[in-house]
Structure 1
Amino acid sequence: MEALPRIRYPQHEKKRQNFYQTIPSFWHDLFGEPYALYDIKTIGMAEAQRIREVTERIAAIYDKTAPLLRSLPDESMLELGFPEESVPFLRLNPLQNEGVIRRVDLVQTSSGWKHFELNADTPTFIYELFHVNGWAARHFGLEDPNEGCEEALQNAIRQAVRELWDQEQAPKVVFTAHADHEEDWHTAAYLGRLFGYPHEIVPIHELQLKEGDGIYTPAGVKIDVLYRQTYPIEHLVNDRSEDGTAIGIQLLKLVKDERLAILNPLSSFLLQSKAVQALIWGLHENGHSYFSDTEHEWIGQHFLPTYLEKEPFIQKEKAFVEKPAFGREGDTITVFGSDGAPLAENTLKTYSDSLKVYQEYQELPTSAIETPYGKDQAHLLVGSFVIGKKAEAFGIRAGSAITGNEAYFLPAGIRT
């Protein structure tokens, strides 16, 4: 028997639609379901400052780890789950910072803020936190915790393009995404608007690659800087044309030969594998001198024990989570109890063939939320952005115990 459709509360839904429809190019509904809530989570100024402090500590640990990763042999790169096709390009480091836009996922616990994972390569949740959250905070009479962050994002994009292009003539800059994916397309367009200088927004399938030469627009103009904010490298390396040509690898060769620059840079992909967390935890657990005493303290405070095998948790009878090294949006995640039996899992199994990482289970805190279907209890996960090296916009996703694509965007505000 088919499940009955859920009934939306018409008055609440009307308020939600009326409010979010005033925000240009925002996907407050996704795939026919509500995404942005007509509700707000109030936080304190001290808590907002703490989130940013923790975020910068975590980012500093990853940045400290990046040079170590570049020094590893190819075999070790493969052991960390990186696709074999990507290994020749992993050591490229074109910017002074490891990335331009990165998102740290955090959970609030009884012992402080803990770090779930880092999306260093293609983080989503950008437009919501840097732009939309401010609209919601003002609407509900609160202060936007992300006030001023949009300007920092704009400056970072412009600075990255300047670093990548040191010639006198202006570069041909293109922002790209899948045109049929509303969230990705509007995110790319938003970043292009923030960039503010001449550029194009081109659907990814319309880009034209000429092997050994460059990437071109549909009009035949050669692209100098390509911003592929939502297109992951682990997908790109497997891209092939209809005739079987490995166009993804050819694109990366163009980057290596300095015929094309891409953002985020390949150095961001180096930190994308969740197996890097296992490397960091292993160095910490062994008291390795690579990290300073202060850095060890930060890792112990904010990182969760993470390994490339589940035995440490089985032996200690601790609950743990199995994650794919390159998974996204909760896809292919399973939670196991202290007896090693599965407790919960995401029904999506897109990354079943990916290297698995095992992390200590940390339950997400819950909070009451107002949804179009009435009041509900939701698990809260904080996404906190690092722009360059500095923590900027942060915000909340509200969903199930495993945060996935179906989670809501819950705006946050500071009471003045």
Structure 2
Amino acid sequence: MEKTFMDDLDRNIFPYVEYPGYPFRYPTHLPLIVTRKQIEEVRQVSGALYGIFAKAVRRAMECSDSFMDDMEIPEKLRKYLHGGNAMKDLPTWISRFDYVIDEKTGAIHMVEINADTPCAEIEAYYANGVAARYFGKENPNAFEMNGLRSFLLDVYLRCCGHMSSRQLEEHPILFSCFHDYIEDMGTTRFLMNAMKEAVPDDVRRYILFESFYNLAVMEDGSLALPDGRTVSFLYRMHPMEILIEEKADQDGSSLGELMMEGYGAGRFHMMNPPESIIMQSKGFQALLYALMEDHAFFSEKEREIIRTYIPPCFFQRDFRPDEKSPSQWIRKPIWGREGRGIDIINEKGETLYRKEVEDPEDVVCRDSESSLVQQYIPQQKIVTKTDVGILEGYVTLSCFMLGDRPSAIYARFSEEKIAGNEAYWIPVLYEG
């Protein structure tokens, strides 16, 4: 096998270069070459959209249950969405905006936000730099690892900085996921190590990893390690809409609800906070367009940003296509993940394309009662090289947010119009 930049990737940091169950390696052989102007726009737009999204989250919190029903926010979670949090009440602390690139104009369009449990931090903050050194090009994320460390230091200080060494010994900082899912495990450990690198030396030993399989929820809602200590902070790589439904194997009691009772009582901090589920709901983008009808809510500048960068979106029940005006739309379940359940439909509601997902039952997501309908953006095609040869396909360009600050850039490549779990990671480098 020919040498590629993948040979330089540390598998201890990036353990899923060779992804279990896939005959090809996860990265492409060649990078995506971009201009500084493109990346500056992605970051600028992401910062503006975050402010708009945060504003809409505050309105959503004031809405009736019927509005939460539309967005399929689990009823059991709703009472925990109003308590605020240590990070200036930001509705999500680490998130990722995903964009597609218009085939005709080259314009970017934001199609999703991963606000609850975004992954790909390893690719963006570590591996992109390895690719840049190998290809001798500049890394758009060159200084973002320092930004990630600074952000996680701020998280530590705001959540646990007041605690003494003895208190941290008794109530450590926990990073957790199900350890047998290699991508979640890698991401969780990467962020844990980034926090360890950021905090004072004498704090590092109080930052721990433990699998979700080994945790217990106490009667008061505290989250306990196998040695009986309860945690002061939880980073979780487990979707909130699924976590709330978790039950004990022994008696079927609701561990998710009990754990959230502990969170609501202030027994531990959590990243991301539960209110991140509002943005995570696919219905949130339909909420944005519904709020556009209230001319007093968004400023004209905010309305222009929405119109320019977010394709029109509707709850399925509100979708009224114009059969006289040919168009294509994406229909996706409110809680779909990895492309599961997504169709491209025409103006009559007829299915033109259905996203095929291998082993769809293995995709961890909540069942949806309804769908979001979003205008389909035909995308630019690129050609790149992979382990299986030269492929033609599409790119999804993403921007991580650290709180309300735009950060690292990440991209996926897929032969499919709708990227799913078959997608490759493609490094993003500056031209020249």
Which TM-score tier does this pair reach, normalised by the shorter chain? over 0.9
**2:78 is matched with which residue: 87, 102, 108?**
87
Partner amino acid for 1:244?
G
Corresponding residue for 1:167?
162
Residue 352 (structure 1) shift:
5.0
**1:276 is matched with which residue: 268, 281, 284?**
284
Distance of 2:187 and 2:97 partners within structure 1: 18
Aligned length in residues: 403
- Do residues 359 (structure 1) and 348 (structure 2) align? no
Report percent identity of matched pairs: 24
- Do residues 212 (structure 1) and 228 (structure 2) align? no
Give runs of aligned pairs for residues 186-201 of structure 1, distance below 5 A. Answer: 186-196=186-196, 197-198=204-205, 199-201=207-209
SS in 2 for 1:42: strand
- Do residues 389 (structure 1) and 404 (structure 2) align? yes
Distance of 1:101 and 1:119 partners within structure 2: 9
**Structure 2, unpaired ranges of 5+:** 197-203
What is the TM-score with the length of structure 2 in the denominator? 0.89
Residue 27 (structure 1) shift:
1.3
Residue 24 (structure 1) shift:
3.4
Structure 1 residues 74 and 339: CA distance shift in structure 2, 3 A: closer
Alpha carbons 2:80, 2:275 under 8 Å: kept: no
Distance of 2:332 and 2:238 partners within structure 1: 20
Distance of 2:78 and 2:296 partners within structure 1: 27
Corresponding residue for 1:178?
178
Residue 25 (structure 1) shift:
3.6
Larger mean CA deviation between 333-342 and 100-109 belongs to: 333-342
Alpha carbons 1:313, 1:360 under 8 Å: kept: no
Alpha carbons 2:221, 2:263 under 8 Å: kept: no
What is the CA RMSD across the aligned residues, in angstroms? 1.8
Structure 1 residues 59 and 330: CA distance shift in structure 2, 3 A: same
Corresponding residue for 1:120?
115
SS in 1 for 2:275: helix
Structure 1 residues 195 and 204: CA distance shift in structure 2, 3 A: same
- Do residues 312 (structure 1) and 320 (structure 2) align? yes
Residue 17 (structure 1) shift:
5.1
Residue 22 (structure 1) shift:
6.5
Partner amino acid for 2:382?
S
- Do residues 332 (structure 1) and 321 (structure 2) align? no
- Do residues 344 (structure 1) and 335 (structure 2) align? no
Structure 1 residues 114 and 218: CA distance shift in structure 2, 3 A: same
Corresponding residue for 1:134?
129
Corresponding residue for 1:6?
none
Residue 259 (structure 1) shift:
0.9
Corresponding residue for 1:3?
none
Alpha-carbon displacement from aligned partner over 1:91-145 (angstroms, at most 9, x marks no partner): 2321312221100011122162111011111111111101111111111111010
- Do residues 402 (structure 1) and 411 (structure 2) align? no
Alpha carbons 1:173, 1:223 under 8 Å: kept: yes
- Do residues 32 (structure 1) and 21 (structure 2) align? yes
SS in 2 for 1:123: coil
SS in 2 for 1:30: coil
Structure 1 residues 333 and 92: CA distance shift in structure 2, 3 A: farther
**1:236 is matched with which residue: 225, 240, 243?**
243
Partner amino acid for 1:258?
G
Residue 296 (structure 1) shift:
0.7
What is the TM-score with the length of structure 1 in the denominator? 0.92
Alpha carbons 2:13, 2:122 under 8 Å: kept: no
Alpha-carbon displacement from aligned partner over 1:34-66 (angstroms, at most 9, x marks no partner): 211221111111111111111112111101111
Corresponding residue for 1:380?
395
